[in-house]
Structure formats: C-alpha cells, structure tokens
Copies of this chain bind each other. A is one copy, B any other.
Amino acid sequence: MESFDRIVIFGVGLIGGSFALALKQAGAVGEVVGVGRRRATLERAQSLGIIDRIGDASSVAGADLVLLAAPVAQTEALLREIAPHLQPGTVVTDAGSTKADVVQAARAALGGKLNQFVPGHPIAGREQNGPEAALSDLYRGKKVVLTALPENAEGCVSKVAAAWERCGALIHRLTAEEHDAVFAAVSHLPHLLAYALVDDIAARDNADRLFSYAASGFRDFTRIAGSSPEMWRDISLANRRALLAELDAYAAQLSQLRAMLAASDGAALEQVYARAQSARQAWIAAIEAAEQKRSYEQGGD
C-alpha cells in the first residue's frame, strides 16, 4: 500500500484536517505540514494532532503530496506561490467543488509543471468548519472525483488516488467539464434554489408568521441554505455557465408545472409527482444497497 513521507496541506479546516487525520490513522503518512493564512488556526490544528508542524510555500520542496484545501478562489495564487518550490517527485491535488476553473488556474500558474497537478473533489462535508470539525472517517465510503489532465503522467494520478483510498474513499474519474455539469445539477442548483426560497420568504412583511408555521419538510429542504454565502458565491461564479443551463432547464420545468396547475390538470401533476417519487425511491434504495455491500465487505458495522 502506498504511503507518504511528507504531505503538505494548505488549509487545515474540515476538508484538509480530515484528510490528515485519515492518513495518520491509516499509518499512511510520515509527517504532515500545515500551511495557512491564519496562525491561530494552524496552531489549533497542531494542538489537535492534525498537523505535525507549521510550514510555508517552501515546505512543498521534497514533499510527496500537496493538498490545496483552502477556498477555491485562492487556488491560482497558491499555485503561483508553490510553483518555484515544486520538485519533480511531488504531486499536487486540490479539493475544490468546481473543476474547470481550477484547471484554468493551474494552467495559468504552473506552466511546465502542470503535469504534476491532479484536480480532485471529495464529495463529503459537514455543517461545521475549522480544524475542530475534522474527522478521521469523514471520507470513509465517500466518493472522490479526480478530473485528471491529459498532461498528467499516470503515476501522478494513481498517487493521488492511493492517498484518498487510504482515507477510505472510492475513486471516480470524470473530465472537468463532466464534473462541473454533474454538480451543477445535483448540488449547485439545489443550493441556489434553497437560498432563493428562504430569501423570498424572509423579504415578506409577514415573514415571521410564515417562518413560525414552517415545519420539518421546510427545514430539510432549506438545510443547504445554511451553507457559507462566500463559498457558494464563489462556486456559483466558478461554474456559472453550467449553473445557468441548469437554472434554465429547471425554470422550464416549473413553467410546465405552472401550466398544469393553472389548467387544474390533476392527472398531469400527479404523473410528475409520481415519476419524481419513484425516481427518488430507486435512488435511495441504490444508496442503501451500496452502503450494505460496503458494510458487509468491511466485516460488519
């Protein structure tokens, strides 16, 4: 099994911190170096045993693997800082929620060292943030999408894949464009829709009365509207084109439903609702079957 003498992590919050804890628990890493803008965060990460020492961009010299887990908007600047210190044996990956913009940033920042950068996106999260929220099992059974570049040597991609596999994750591969189209549909659009609904209600004169009658269905539907506005602003802009396409498809779907409702066409409405219900039931059943299979293969729990 692959193991790593030194890993450098930029951003030691939930995502970067959980990566470090998982690799340490798996015995897959010698030393973890943390880099970040806030000294206090790095010190907390160190006292929590997430990182072994605090470093800077020059710490990537001689490292096996570098993970960028800072806000996506910083990717290009970080890669420019790293580039001069990047030696041939080191692979760099990231954990951003959008990929085409990250690839563009890497092309701009890394020049001839682009072949050492393997873009990635772990599909895992929690509502909490910061090093205190990091969990060694955050990635267990979760998907990590790698969007390898044509320039990547296969050795680089398999090294990143191996690190995530040591965290318990399942590796999937897509192109950056496929990735961004998929996540525009199943993640970025729902976030925008949830924010839109809550803001629509909050702006009313009788918002307090409306919220006072909102129940568990509303609570679950809008849970993702509790996410970081800055992060979702960046994701929305980074994946603007795919998100606009999804928003237009959804608006067309809503105007069809509106027409059915205006015409009191109960049969047509019921057909849409029933198709949605059965598609969702099939999806949940598939998730549960996959979870059971995994739990069986791991010998229970």
Contact = CB atoms under 8 A, between A and B. Distances in A.
A244 B229 contact: no
Contacts of A149: none
Contacts of A200: 249-250, 253
Nearest to A232: B273
Given A123-B215, A221-B194, A250-B196, A210 B185 contact: yes
Contacts of A301: none
> How many copies, total?
2
Contacts of A279: 198-199, 201-202, 207, 211
A221 B190 contact: yes
A205 interface: no
B233 A198 contact: no
A170 B16 CA distance: 46
A72 interface: no
A249 B254 CA distance: 12
B226 A223 contact: no
B211 A240 contact: no
B270 A195 contact: no
Interface stretch (A35-43, A156-164, A261-269): A261-269
A163 to B, nearest CB: 21
Contact of A247 (B145, B219, B244, B258): B258
Contacts of A194: 221, 276
B250 A236 contact: no
A269 B186 contact: no
Interface in A223-241: 223-230, 232-234, 236-237, 240
Interface residues of A, number: 86
A125 B217 CA distance: 10
A296 to B, nearest CB: 20
A243 interface: yes
A143 interface: yes
A247 B261 contact: yes
A199 B233 contact: no
Contacts of A212: 286
Contacts of A284: 219, 226
A253 B199 contact: yes
Interface of A: 123-125, 143, 145, 172, 182-183, 185-187, 189-204, 207, 209-230, 232-234, 236-237, 240, 243-244, 247-251, 253-255, 257-258, 261-262, 264, 266, 269-270, 272-277, 279-281, 283-284, 286
* Pairs A-B, 8 closest by C-beta atoms: A202-B279, A229-B273, A198-B276, A229-B274, A233-B270, A186-B214, A199-B276, A195-B276
21 contacts: A182-B210, A183-B213, A186-B215, A186-B218, A190-B222, A193-B197, A195-B277, A197-B253, A211-B279, A217-B223, A220-B221, A220-B223, A221-B221, A226-B284, A230-B270, A233-B266, A233-B273, A237-B261, A240-B261, A244-B258, A254-B254
